[in-house]
Structure formats: C-alpha cells, structure tokens
Structure 1
Amino acid sequence: MINDKPYLIDAITGNSRFLASLGNTGRMYRLWWPNIDFPQHVDKIRSGLFFENGLGGTSWFDEPDYGWIHEAAYVPDTNIFRVTANHRTLPVTAVTVDYAVPGEDFHVRDYTFTNTGDEPVSFQFMFYSSFSITENKLYNTVFFDEEADAIVHYRHRYFFSIGSSNVCTGFQAGFAWEAADTGALRGSMIEMTTDGGMSWKISELAPGASVTIPVYIAAGNDRFESLAALAKAKSKPSTEWFAESSQYWHEFVAAATPCPTDDPETKDLYVRSLLMFKLMSDEKTGSIVAAPEFDENFTRCGGYSYCWGRDAAFITTALDKAGLGSLTDRFYDWALTAQDPDGSWQQRHFHDGSLAPSWGIQLDEGASLIWGMWEHYKHTGSREFAERVWPAVAKGAAFLVTTLDPETGLPSPSRDLWEEREAEHTYSAAAVFGGLSAAASFADLQGQAELAAEWSAAASRVSAGLDAHGYNEARDSFYRALKLTVYPHVYHEAAERGEQVFTKTSAKGYVTHHVQHDPVIDISLLGISVPFGAVAPEDTRMQKTADVVERELTMPGVGGIKRYEDDTYAGGNPWVLTTLWLAHYRIANGQYDEAKKHLRWAMDHRTQTGLLPEQVDKVTGETAWVVPLTWSHAMFVLTIFMLAEKGQF
C-alpha cells in the first residue's frame, strides 16, 4: 500500500467547518475539522471493488496502477468535486462525488457504480478508513456500532462515524487493510488502533444499471454528537444533500459582485476564486488560512496551514472587491483576538488565535492588518467597524512608532516577508508607512487630532528614510534592505570588496555581523508603491525599480516573475502572486497592456481544476508548489478589478 501523501493536490472541498484535500483520482488525502487549519485527521481513505474470481484482490479505483482511468472536475459553480473512473478491462464505471454539506458536521462521499458490460455483474464495494486523529496515531480507538451500522474512529474529544444509508454487509474494526485488500473483512468489533473497513455486496447488477452508495463521514466531540450527525446524514437521500449543497454554492456565487468582464476564462477563474475564498475562511473563528497544509512534517517548508496578517490584508481587500465583505468583517474580529498586549501581531497564528510556529516578528504583519482595516472601512463606510477596531489600531500604531530607527527613520530590523532574513527591509518600511497612515486616518475619524498628527509624522519619517537611504543608484532600484544580518563569511567577503559592514555585540556578549546595504532585486520592492503608496507609481525611481524587477526576475523560457534574484526555495520558480504584483504596478502606472500580459500568464498556469498555485515549475511550466494559495487568488481578483476600474475590460 502506498503510504506517502503528495505535496501537490488537485482539489479541495468543504464547508468552512470541514476542509478536505483530494487527488484527481478521488483519493482523500487530508481532512480538517472543526477548524480548517488544525487538526488534520485522515491517514488514508481508500475505496475500491472486489470481484469474486476476479483480479485476486480489491481493485482500488483511486489508484491508476489498478487499471483505472480518471476524469476529474468540479461541478460548475460549486465546491463539489466529481471523479469518474473507468477501468481498462472491468465492466464497471465508478463515479465519486465529494462535498461537505453547508452548515452540517458531515462530509459526503457519494459513489455510483454503473455496469458498462453486456452481462450482469456482482462485486463488493470496499471502503477502508485509517485515521490519525489530531495528527497522532497514539491512543486511537476504532469500533463498530451495530445500531448505527457505522465504523467509529475516535481519539480524545474527536469522533468520526462512517456509515451509509445502505446497510453494510461486512465490517472490521482494526487491522483492516489486508482484509479489505483481499475482500474478506472479519467482523471484529473494537480495537485500540487507527483503521477499519466496511463493505457492501452488489449482486447481479444488470447491464446499463447503476447503484449509488453514499458514504458519510460525520464528526462530533463525543460519540453521541458524531452518531447524531451520521443519523442526520442518513435521514435524507444523498440526492437531496447534493441538491441543497449545489443550491447553496450557486446562491453564494450569485450574491457576490459579478465578474467585471464577460471573458469566459476570466469569469471561470473568478468564480473558482470566490468558492475557494469561502473554503479558506474558518466558520468557527473567521480566520483565513494561507493554504491547506501539504507538508505537515516540515520536510521542505515551514508549513502553510496558518493565518498570516500580511496575506490576509491582501485577501480581505480582494474579498471586499468581490462582494464578500462579511468574510472580511469576521476576519478582523478574529484579528483583534490575536493581537499581543504590546500592540504587535506576531508572524502567524493558528485559527484559535494561538501563536503558530514562528521565525520571529515581522513588522509588516501588524502594519498590513491596520492598513487592511482602513481599506475595509473605506469600502464599507461602517462607523461601527471603525469603532470596533479602533482600540487595536491605537495600540498597533503606538507599537509601530516605537520600532522606528532614529538613524534611518525606517522600522527596526525584523524578518522579511519571505521569512528568510533580518534587516531594516524596504518592504516592511512601506507596510509600516501604510499602517501608520491608515492609523492616522482612523484617528482623524475618531476626532483624535494629536494622535493623527503624531502617526502622520511617523509615517513621514518612514517615507523620508526611504528617500534618503533607500535608493540604489548603481542598480536603478531601491535597496531591498539596510542593516542586513549576515553570516560571518559573508561579512568578511563584503568587507574585502570595500562595502559598508559593521558588527553588534549583545548584552550577553554575542557578536552579530551586518552589511549596510542589501542590493538584491526583489518583487516586494513594488510594495513601496502598490499597495502602500510610500512612493508614487509615477516616481522615476519607482518606474526604474519596476523595470529592473521585470528584467532581472522574469524566468527565461517559461516566463513569470520569481521572488528575487538568487531565490532557491522549492527550486527557485516563478510565482503567480509575484507576477500579478507586477501587473498591479503596471496598472497603477497606466501600462495596461503589460499588466494584461502578466494576468494572462497567471491564468494560463492555473491547475486543471481551476486553482491557482503558489509556484510554477521554471522548466516545465507545470504546477510546482502549494495548491491552492489563497494569496494567489486574491492577487488575481485584485488585478481584474484594478483593470476594470481603469476601464480596461
């Protein structure tokens, strides 16, 4: 049995309580509940057919090696995912439909089998489930509940009951893989382990006839809640749950702002973005997840299933443009709970507001949140919202003022937005400018003239610092950072080249090494202008910076824009959001044809199921990393509305 889960997935489904990630074969790789960020519970869920005197074992139809050929796509304008599996030799087609019913604590896996042959056919449908509840294989139990006709998995206060409105004909609680693979479940009732199996016999299915077996995964905080959710799932035919869910998603899309263009491809991606945004917004807390987790063991990255304030500020601005302001409202209610007592916001958080694994504070995170709050206020004009966030804005702005370096006027060293370096970053400075300017506007709204003047003056010190220290004439670009912390060998090499270097000694006597300037070209330099407005788009320095960014960061051959010159993360590929960031600047500078070129590139590199990844392989042009990335979809939505506002559609 294949144990590894892929980094790249093909689809997500859910209802903002559940979030599931799926492959194009229909295999469910991960399932989150009751929050969409943590914890994840699925080890393996497999399904297949066992034919007596057939292949010698179960033919798992979520696996191409068993002879199945798959076609996968979303049901249009919904978060319902359908996979059709046809076998090269077996006379059965299997259609799997996955969705979570909105407002309910159960996920539906609807299986329909059709006899495509000329003779009646008999088989067993096998369903194997292995749970690693709360991402832990310890202290799990699985049992068969005869009254509910269900396999129940549980650990601590997480219970998952699996059953169907069709009464099963076989089951096994514990040590079930080999039995399921050989079509011989043994009827054991309970084990302190992680897996179980169920089967349904289909006898003499006539040529052309079909049979549907819905399988429900119902969740609860104890067995009674879980079994009650399963009973509710069984209380209606799955066709009714499908119709209700489909109607919900159609109404959700219809209530949003219409796509600002009639171009069919753009409209399709816009609708998919709307639907994806809802799945990424946690119903329980209002927080927004950056991406469904795909590297939970941190083998190639530091994890994505968290909320970053920076990502969220871009995302909520896009939500407002798309008419999904209620999600924005709920997010900022959550953001108030995640603020530290000193007014800062840390790098990233779990959706319950607790601190996620971190590399240290990034000043652009909290600054972006304050900026995003003001953008939301400008969009809604809601004084109630402004009153609600004002205490957090005031604390946040006061904190940002304390970070300004009296020597440069820029925010003191922190981690950069890519979470790789410590310095006085130009992008962080731009975000702090945006945050302080937004805070000053809130203060004006509150009649707090002294605070407004103080924060406006602080923002002016940041922009003056960028003017005085931020531009690199040698490269016709702004510096990426000042006072960059480096390894000792980098420090010595820079000193030998005659560059400005210095060291610092901490209170405990530890020495750190620094270079005065970081000249690397980075897409985030565009943030000085868009979205934060510290430097006007038409400023000659900004225009030169954008041109250098495009020249140095465009990937030869495949196209697209990578993050920065010497990027090696996940292979050093072009990113969707960076390419669209350049489109944003081109729009702001009136270069609409250039912007449309970058938009076209991003759209051309969506996945087959219409999702935008983080990265595109620099050689093949295929999806390379993280599917879907919420920030990528946000940048797409912002791009099309920016073009529309300029009359370019």
Structure 2
Amino acid sequence: MQLRDALDDYKRHAGHGRLFAGERRTVEGRFTGGDGRLVHVAPDGGLRDFGYPLTGKSGLTRSRFGLAVDGDVTWFEADRSRQRYVDDTPLVETVHETDRATVRRYDLAVDDAHLTRAVVEPASDADLDADDFALVAYAAFAPDGRDERVGQLRYDDAVEVYHADEHDFLASATGLDDLRGQLPPTFPEVLDDAPMDLPRDRDAARYDEERLSGEVVVEAPFEDGAATLGTLLSDGLETPREAARSRLDALFAELDSREALTAAAADTTPAVPASVPERGSVVADLRVLSLLSAETGLRIAGPDFDPHYQHSGGYGYTWFRDDAEISTFLLESDDRLGLELDDWHVRSAEMYVETQRPDGSWPHRVWPRNGALAPGWANARIEDGPDVDYQADQTGSVIAFLARARGAGVEVDGLDATLVDALASLDSTLADDGRPVACQNAWEDSVGRFTHTTATFLEAYGALARHGRGLEDDADRFGDDPAVHARDRAREVYDALDDLWLPDRGRYALRETVHGDLDDRLDSATLALASAHRAYDAIEDGEADGRGAVDDERLDRLVSHVERVVDGLTRETDEISGLFRYEGDGWRRGDQPVEKVWTVSTAWGAHACGELAALLDARDDPRAERFAERARELLGLVSPDGPLCEPTGYLPEQFFDDGTPDSATPLGWPHAIRLATVGLLDAHDTLAADPAPADD
C-alpha cells in the first residue's frame, strides 16, 4: 500500500467508529494464491497483491475492472457482484451484473503469475454480440515497492512496468485495443480534502504521463465471448522479459477454461478426504494456511492490512509463537484426520532449525520468504538489553513443535542439535523459583511473569521429556540426558505454578507484575494451561497407578480455571458471541466502550475445553463430557455457520459487538486452532462412542 492510497483512504474514513483510516482492508473479498503470490479479489473484482512478505515482490497496489462497448465503460460494482470459491480450491469466481451484460470471471494466482479470465453474456435486450465488448482494467503497479521513478515498456499484447530489480507484466490473451498510462495522484490531489476517483481521463498536456508511471488502463477484446488478462511479477535479471512474456503466453494457452483453471488451482492445496469430519471447515482452514505460507513453509500471521503501522505493528511477518503453534496444530490434525501434510511438517522443521539464533532462541519476527530478521520490538536477545524485551514463549512454542515432530518421525538435518541448544536457551530464561523471568507476553502489550509463558515452558519441557530420548548434548550442559533434564524442569515448572494460583478466585493470575504483585485479571492466553498439563501428564506415559503425572488437586484447579476464564470472558450480543482477549483490553476499540471479541480467544477456549475433556476422560472422570460439550459450543461460534466466521470461510482477528469484523482477515492462528479442535473432538467422540470392551 502506497502512502497516496493510505491518505486517500484516510479522507474517506477518518472519524469512522468501525473503520480505521488509512488501511487496506480484507474483511470482504477472497484471496487466491497458495503457490507464491497472494492476491486479494475484492467484491467489485479489484485486485491487490499482499504477497510481498512471501515473495519479496510488490506487484499490484490497486486495480479496477469494467466492461466497455464503443468506448463507453461501465465499472463493476460490489453491490452488483457475487463471489465464491470454486470447489475446494483457491480459484475465485466473481459474477458481475451490468445493464448490458453478465460477466463471469475467474481469478487464480499461479506461482508468480495471476490470471483473470472473463466470460461475457450479453443481456437479452442489449442487441449486442459477446465480441462487441472489451474487458477494461485499470492497474497500478509498484515494482520494488515504488510508485515513483517507474517506467513502462509496451508491446502489442502487454505492458512491462519496472523500477530496478522488479519487473511487472500485464498481458492479454486477445491483444490490446487500447493502452494508456497516467501519473499517480499529484501533490495538489493528495492535499485536497476530496478523495480520488481513479482512473482519471487521459491528460494530453502531460507527455510523460504515458510512460513514467506504474499505472495503466487497458482494453482487452473478447473473442468467442472470453478475454483473459494476466500479470506476472519477475526479477528482471532472473527472468528476462522474453521469458516472462512466454510464460504468460503458455498460461493463456494452458488455462483457457474454467475446468483447466480449477485443475491448476487444486494442485495448490492439500486434498481433504471425504470422510473427514466437518469437512467444509477443514477445507477452509487448509486453504487459508496455504494462502498465508511462503515457499519456505513459514507463514505470515495474516494479510498486512496496515503496512504504515498506523493502527498496529503490522501483520505480514512470521512470529515463531504463532507459526510454531500452527505447526503443532497441523501435526496433531494430520495424525487424527489423515491429511497427508508430511511436506508441511518437514518445511516448518527445516526453517526452525535454520532460523535458530546462536543462543538457542528464536527472534521476534522474520520475513517468511527467507527467514531474515524483520522489523520488531522484542529483540532484546539480539541487542544488549534485558530479557523484558524478549518473548520467551516463542522459543517454548518452537521446542514443543520440534519435539513432537521428532516423535512423529520427522527427519531434518540438525534437528537434535537445535533441540538441545533450545533447551539450554529455555533454561536461561527460567528463574530459580521455577517460572520464566519477566518478559513480554503473548499479546505483546505488557511485561511481567505471565501464566501463559509459564504454560508454554511446561508444554515445551513436557514435549521434550517425552520425545527427546536419545538426544546428545555434546557440550555436556545438563549433566544427564537432555530428556531427563527436561522432565525434571517440567516438574519444577509444574510445582511453581502454585505461586500464580488465586484461591479466592478459583483460577490462576494473568501474571506476576514487575513489582511482585499478582495481576488477577482474566486472560484467554492462560487457557494454554490445558494443553500444557496434558503434555506434562504424558511424560511418563502414565504413572504406576495409570493416572498420569497431573495430581488430583491440580486437575481440580485446572477445571476451575478453564471454566471461570471461559465464563468470565464470554460476550454475547444480538450479533455475535465469543470470548474477548482479556479484561481491560483497549486495543482497536474504535468507539466501542468495552473489549472486542477475538476469534483466537474463542477458538482457544474451544481447544482448551477439548484438551481438558481428554485429560478428564483418561481418568474416567464424569466431568469430561461437560467440557467436551462446552468445546463443541465454542467451536460452533467459529465454524463456517457461526457468528464469528465470515461468508468467505475466513476468521477475522476481531469483531465489534455489532458484528462488524476487524483487523487481519484471514488470521492463520485461529484457523489452525479450529482445525485442531475438530480433530480433537472427533477423537473424543470416537472414544465415547466406542468404549473399550469389558473384561470377560
């Protein structure tokens, strides 16, 4: 998003109670991608690239499509269009209605290219043939992220827009009837109070307008009722212009029908067996996680709707907390649902090994396309600062995944050494009292000694104790087997959790503050205690009495905690129902006086109740079914028919009380939690429906 676009949006939405001015929103429309580029198709058919973090190329910053007859252009409108995904694929179908014709178009990103194929059907009273029309496109490119110092090269059927390294192509399968350029909004236009209506008419007085910009307007004629426009983002050195144009020509020839586009799209996402429970939800989750993934396997948190950091710190990066949690959920889901995601697990493990720092930790944020350090505010372990500006839970989350991946048979060079170094790093941030030192929290908005961070340590040590047998510590840092050391540390953390218990509230505190007080607010992140205790319970594969490592008193506390947190954070209005993030959360409220509901928190509640149900069920505890039912209720809120899921199948990060979605959409983390909860509850229901046979 260029600054001119952000300022134009500011003019349109400043002072709005539900929209934050200067953002490029994706709460409506659908994405296509999963194999390189990430392209948003707005309800009116406009295209915009969001894939810079995944590919390093900026591409389209805005666009607009319409239909022309004899030079008279009708631009497509959102309120006269409808949109859907074709089958289980990321192929987007948008149907545009105009007074003269209906246009059915298909959008698909294929690696570094994107195709828009349109089929026109004249209205019965229009007295026009299909080939009387032309597909009109206004497209603004920003090669190398620049919207100035840009030039064009033109051909009979294409235009090339370039700055230095990045060269962006727009081509037509049927040639071009017209091609013109225009400069971006001028300084007076930017400073004017009124927003811009683009594209403008041609300015004959500006001789350089036609060539020195990234903005073009083209008309592609329909032939046999069809027209196809393609864009391709390339590196000018790696992909010469002849090769780029040839690639687009080949795609035009190969993907010349809806069927061909659907087949190509199907190759970019995993196939989901028909027998999988809640199949529609699973398909949507895997599609989203595929869309957000770079070729490396690392994922952005969500499409970066706020690249100028006006209302957030950006979303187009890889956080190791989110990414490793997603990887763990995928590993669990694959095991339970048979999704055949082996390649995904290997790619994730390889990148975690590659991006580990020399001290055994992982940095705050990295670019998913190559693992390079990205802008962030929690890099104390790279700087010379104290650990308060470090998010220790991120390293814990990576350890938990890598240990489980090792146990599942994932083989990656350097995995064992990475786990041993990570264990030493985790130890370095564990205080003598058995809890993590003061650091930043999962929500990245405060400092202290958090219950959530403690939970991630318990889960990391527990997973490594169970799946780390045979690890070798060449530096002899632990004095015994690393897995044994991890088991002992897990017990220390387990015991130290008592320090955070609030007996008068029947739950755990949010944190111990830097002043030594217990912060007694409710926090959905503390729901991580459920999966952490289940990991701890499995360390020994059952103690002598077969009841696992979690004792009865702790289990009762866990039951009380999960119940009180879920109940206390639940918000119900006429439009939505779900969990808000924590008591006193003031972020992105707009004009709403109370906290907003978060899909992450709601999905987390469902998963925590499911994990607790499994823990109780292993003890034949009758409370198990109560928590399984609560898990189903919460899962329903984020399921495709639930109030927190958009018609696109996407889970936005947040909702206002009136049902208005907000922030990053789709957000990968709740999609992964939803996926894992489906598998978790299916496993629970299977056990409940098919109990073990009685002894003879």
TM range (shorter): 0.7 to 0.9
Name the TM-score, length of structure 2 as normaliser. 0.79
Range with bigger deviation, 423-432 or 37-46:
37-46
- State the one-letter code of the partner of 2:429: T
Relative to structure 1, is the Cα distance of residues 184 and 227 closer, same or farther in structure 2, using a 3 angstrom cutoff?
Answer: farther
Aligned to 1:219, the other structure's residue is in SS state: strand
What does residue 253 of structure 2 align with?
237
The question of 1:580 aligning with 2:590 is answered no
2-structure distance, mates of 1:241, 1:232: 17
- Residue 633 of structure 1 and its aligned partner are, at CA, apart by 0.9
Provide Cα deviations, 1:110-155, integer angstroms capped at 9, x if missing partner. Answer: 1222211331264443222111233332432222134xx2111112
The question of 1:272 aligning with 2:284 is answered yes
What does residue 517 of structure 1 align with?
518
Is this contact kept in 2: 1:73–1:609, CA < 8 A?
yes
2-structure distance, mates of 1:226, 1:20: 22
Of the three residues 629, 633, 637, the one matched with 1:597 is: 633
Relative to structure 1, is the Cα distance of residues 187 and 227 closer, same or farther in structure 2, using a 3 angstrom cutoff?
Answer: farther
What does residue 481 of structure 1 align with?
511
- Residue 176 of structure 1 and its aligned partner are, at CA, apart by 8.5
Relative to structure 1, is the Cα distance of residues 358 and 607 closer, same or farther in structure 2, using a 3 angstrom cutoff?
Answer: same
What does residue 499 of structure 1 align with?
none
Relative to structure 1, is the Cα distance of residues 251 and 144 closer, same or farther in structure 2, using a 3 angstrom cutoff?
Answer: closer
- State the one-letter code of the partner of 1:113: V
Of the three residues 217, 220, 240, the one matched with 1:197 is: 217
Aligned to 1:627, the other structure's residue is in SS state: coil
Provide Cα deviations, 1:87-123, integer angstroms capped at 9, x if missing partner. Answer: 2xx211122211023xx43110112222113312644
Aligned to 1:333, the other structure's residue is in SS state: helix
The question of 1:216 aligning with 2:230 is answered yes
Range with bigger deviation, 107-116 or 581-590:
581-590
Aligned length: 589
- State the one-letter code of the partner of 2:609: R
The question of 1:13 aligning with 2:32 is answered yes
- Residue 259 of structure 1 and its aligned partner are, at CA, apart by 5.4
The question of 1:375 aligning with 2:399 is answered no
Relative to structure 1, is the Cα distance of residues 566 and 189 closer, same or farther in structure 2, using a 3 angstrom cutoff?
Answer: closer
Stretches of structure 2 that go unaligned for 5 or more consecutive residues are: 10-23, 186-196, 379-389, 474-479, 538-549, 590-594, 614-623, 690-696
Matched ranges for 1:63-78 at <5 A: 63-64=77-78, 69-78=80-89
What does residue 466 of structure 1 align with?
497
Provide Cα deviations, 1:529-578, integer angstroms capped at 9, x if missing partner. Answer: 22454585971111111121122100132320111111122223212221
What does residue 456 of structure 1 align with?
487
What does residue 415 of structure 1 align with?
440
Of the three residues 645, 660, 663, the one matched with 1:625 is: 663
Provide Cα deviations, 1:471-520, integer angstroms capped at 9, x if missing partner. Answer: 011221111111x24xxxxxxxxxxxxxxxxxxxxxxxxxxxx3521111
Provide Cα deviations, 1:440-470, integer angstroms capped at 9, x if missing partner. Answer: 4454233664333333222222222112x11
2-structure distance, mates of 1:306, 1:167: 38
Of the three residues 636, 646, 649, the one matched with 2:674 is: 636
- Residue 592 of structure 1 and its aligned partner are, at CA, apart by 1.6
Matched ranges for 1:293-442 at <5 A: 293-320=304-331, 321-322=333-334, 323=339, 324-351=341-368, 352-360=370-378, 361-378=390-407, 380-382=408-410, 384-385=411-412, 388-406=414-432, 408-442=433-467
Is this contact kept in 2: 1:17–1:36, CA < 8 A?
yes
Is this contact kept in 2: 1:7–1:295, CA < 8 A?
no
What does residue 655 of structure 2 align with?
616
2-structure distance, mates of 1:426, 1:25: 45
Matched ranges for 1:91-240 at <5 A: 91-101=100-110, 104-118=111-125, 119-120=127-128, 122-146=132-156, 149-175=157-183, 181-182=200-201, 191-201=211-221, 211-222=225-236, 224-235=239-250, 236-237=252-253, 239-240=255-256
2-structure distance, mates of 1:139, 1:532: 57
Aligned to 2:600, the other structure's residue is in SS state: helix
What does residue 544 of structure 1 align with?
560
1-structure distance, mates of 2:531, 2:46: 41
Aligned to 1:162, the other structure's residue is in SS state: strand
What does residue 60 of structure 1 align with?
75
Considering fraction of residues, name the structure with more strand. Answer: 1
- Residue 432 of structure 1 and its aligned partner are, at CA, apart by 1.5
What does residue 544 of structure 2 align with?
none
Aligned to 2:563, the other structure's residue is in SS state: helix
Relative to structure 1, is the Cα distance of residues 611 and 216 closer, same or farther in structure 2, using a 3 angstrom cutoff?
Answer: same
Matched ranges for 1:498-513 at <5 A: none
Matched ranges for 1:561-580 at <5 A: 561-571=579-589, 572-580=595-603
Name the TM-score, length of structure 1 as normaliser. 0.84
Stretches of structure 1 that go unaligned for 5 or more consecutive residues are: 486-513
1-structure distance, mates of 2:319, 2:402: 15
1-structure distance, mates of 2:139, 2:108: 17
The question of 1:84 aligning with 2:95 is answered yes
Cα RMSD, aligned residues only: 2.8
Is this contact kept in 2: 1:74–1:82, CA < 8 A?
yes
- State the one-letter code of the partner of 1:84: V
Range with bigger deviation, 180-189 or 354-363:
180-189
- State the one-letter code of the partner of 2:95: T
- State the one-letter code of the partner of 1:196: V
Relative to structure 1, is the Cα distance of residues 452 and 312 closer, same or farther in structure 2, using a 3 angstrom cutoff?
Answer: same
Aligned to 1:191, the other structure's residue is in SS state: coil
Relative to structure 1, is the Cα distance of residues 81 and 139 closer, same or farther in structure 2, using a 3 angstrom cutoff?
Answer: same
1-structure distance, mates of 2:89, 2:202: 35
1-structure distance, mates of 2:672, 2:660: 21
Aligned to 1:111, the other structure's residue is in SS state: strand
Provide Cα deviations, 1:327-352, integer angstroms capped at 9, x if missing partner. Answer: 12101211222211111112221112
Provide Cα deviations, 1:273-310, integer angstroms capped at 9, x if missing partner. Answer: 12222222211x22122111111111211111111111
2-structure distance, mates of 1:541, 1:470: 11
- Residue 39 of structure 1 and its aligned partner are, at CA, apart by 4.6
- State the one-letter code of the partner of 1:100: A
Relative to structure 1, is the Cα distance of residues 563 and 259 closer, same or farther in structure 2, using a 3 angstrom cutoff?
Answer: farther
Aligned to 1:345, the other structure's residue is in SS state: coil
2-structure distance, mates of 1:634, 1:42: 29
Relative to structure 1, is the Cα distance of residues 50 and 459 closer, same or farther in structure 2, using a 3 angstrom cutoff?
Answer: same
2-structure distance, mates of 1:398, 1:279: 35
Sequence identity of aligned pairs in percent?
A: 22
